[in-house]
Amino acid sequence: MSPSPASVANANSASDFRGMAAQMAVLPLHEVGPAGPGAAVAALGFALGLAATWAAPAGLVWAGEETVFAEEGAPYPPGLAAFGLDPARLIVVRAKKRDEALWAAEQALGAGALVICALGASRKPLELKASRRLLLFAEKHNTRCLLLKQADGASAAWTRWSVAPAPSRAHDLELGAPAYEATLARRRAGPAGARFILEWNAHDRAFAERFQENREPVFRQEAQP
């Protein structure tokens, strides 16, 4: 498999996910969305994984809309613990409306917390102003925000990820580690289009890129828009 043009273009800075994640860790706002129907939990897992790899001295706040919790299930403390997050250090805010969730996220960013803001599907795309506010709050208080929502409208986020679940790579009868196919759909500072197959290691709290048998990274060509 020859490297795709997109991956070559990325090669200088973020040819592997580790480099990419290191870049992301210092940028204030990122957006994560499901790649298709039924991928919302994968997007959530990817976002939680990113949050778990980043330092959060003031704690982690997960501000979600009630509709998201109804649709995808409510966060489950034993599951979070298994995923590598201490549920006792996480504050979950169940907001009734989108405005409330955004407000709670802004307040939490203002307090210096790392924030995951999960928004439900809506007919109206999120205004640019709203994501811009999150960006500014995160920037000002030197923290980061992960915005979890459907891809729609303009956004102030530095990167936008489109995440789908990846098939497990384990013995027939077992489920392996959580695996995601994460596509960098948009990037403010640099070319987008790179696609990573990632496995979450809950024990090490780290993403590992999945390589094929010949140790080549799995890059697949993204259809260029």
Binding residues (CB under 8 A) for another protein: these are: 38-39, 41-42, 44-46, 48, 57-59, 61, 69-70, 72-83, 87-88, 90-96, 100, 103-104, 107-108, 110-113, 164-168, 170-179, 181, 199-203, 208
Instruction: Indicate the SS3 state at residue 198.
Output: strand
The 3 state secondary structure assigned to 149-175 is CCCCCCCCCCEEEEEEECCCCCCCCCC
Q: Please, which residue, 10 or 163, has the CB nearer to another protein?
A: 163
Tokens 């997050």 belong to residue: 85
Q: How far is the CB of 173 from another protein (least distance, A)?
A: 5
The encoded tokens of residue 178 equal: 């959580």
Q: How far is the CB of 89 from another protein (least distance, A)?
A: 8
Q: How far is the CB of 154 from another protein (least distance, A)?
A: 27
Q: How far is the CB of 4 from another protein (least distance, A)?
A: 22
Give the separation between CA 108 and CA 155, rounded to whole angstroms. Answer: 20
Give the separation between CA 47 and CA 32, rounded to whole angstroms. Answer: 7
Q: Please, which residue, 10 or 108, has the CB nearer to another protein?
A: 108
Q: Please, which residue, 64 or 193, has the CB nearer to another protein?
A: 64
**Residue 121 CB contacts under 8 Å (≥ 6 apart), including other chains:** 67, 150
Q: Please, which residue, 127 or 204, has the CB nearer to another protein?
A: 204
